[in-house]
Amino acid sequence: MSRQCLTGDLSLYVAYDGSDSNDGLSAATPFLTLQKSWEWSRDTLDRCGHSIIVTLKHDADLANTYAPLHAFGVILGEVVPEQTGTVAPGFQIIGNPNFHAQCHIHATGTGVNCVTSGYGAAVSVTGCKLTSAGQSALVCYSRGWITAGDNEFGACAWAHKHACGQNAAISQKDTIYWISGSAAFHDLAEDGGKIWNLGNTPTLVGTPAFSGAFVHANQCGRVDYTGTVFSGSASGKKFDVRSAGGVSVNGAASYVLPGNAAGVASTSGWYV
């Protein structure tokens, strides 16, 4: 099957009142779901070094809700992103950074995440509120990548950010984001997964509770908070690291992490 080779960045549109029978190429003919925008891009395009920018419709004073995205496989022409954030994923979801609730991605059902990436998929998400009644907000599996921007993490059954598997990574760099809901974990890295938080200024709204720990790393998972400064408070353990998993705070003391209980390091877990 022949593919369209992009000669410049491509804009796609998704709207809560759209239709997946539309072409998604204008605000007048938007797709209904992020899933359709991803599958159409993966199956028909060659990025040829350009970006696919997916804009979510947002109306003032309305809490517009969008269904989850499960991104698997590679869009031809994808460039492998970097932890430093200097190379962004080519598939970019943009909501409303000023009013996250106007672009609310909500997952229902056991095991369903807001945005899932794996097997070569690379996605960025900014300007959205993320909640999951059944699992997590942002999840990367083996060889998946997510770049997180100025989002709001609401209530999730499991984790706000979860990287699981070799070459699975979530990167968040130089962002202002909000944590308004409770979860078992804010950041969870396991089985070699990595979460990079570089130079962020997160604000905790209220006192969200983390029943597991604010950050948990195990089985060689790693979470990095270099240059990240939190504002606000949370309840629960600050960290739980084990089985060669660890947290890097660039030498800062454990009080830099939110939580009202001391962190725990066991079975070769590390905190530096």
Contact 81, 71 (CB under 8 A): no
In order of 22, 149, 152, the CA distances from 202 in angstroms are 37, 11, 9
113-160 confidence digits (pLDDT tens): 999 999 999 999 999 999 999 999 999 999 999 999 999 999 999 999
Neighbours of 43 (CB within 10 A): 12
Give the model's pLDDT for residue 41.
97
Strand runs labelled E in 113-262: 115-118, 122-126, 129-132, 138-140, 145-148, 152-156, 159-164, 169-173, 178-179, 183-190, 194-198, 203-204, 210-218, 222-224, 239-241, 246-248
**DSSP string computed for 176-203:** --EE-S-EEEEEEEETT-EEEEES---E
58-94 confidence digits (pLDDT tens): 987 777 899 999 999 999 987 666 555 555 788 999 9
Burial zone of 28 (CB within 10 Å; 0-12 exposed, 13-18 middle, 19+ buried): exposed
Averaged pLDDT, 84-108? 86
72: part of which helix (H) or strand (E)? strand 69-72
Mean pLDDT across the chain: 93
Q: What is the pTM of this model?
A: 0.95
| Both tokens assigned to 102 | 């106007």
Give the model's pLDDT for residue 8.
95
In order of 94, 206, 270, the CA distances from 61 in angstroms are 18, 22, 45
Q: Which residues pair with 69 in a beta bridge?
A: 115
Predicted confidence (pLDDT) at residue 32 exceeds the cutoff of 60:
yes
Give the model's pLDDT for residue 78.
76
Give the model's pLDDT for residue 89.
81
Give the model's pLDDT for residue 87.
56
215-262 confidence digits (pLDDT tens): 999 999 999 999 999 999 999 999 999 999 999 998 877 679 999 999
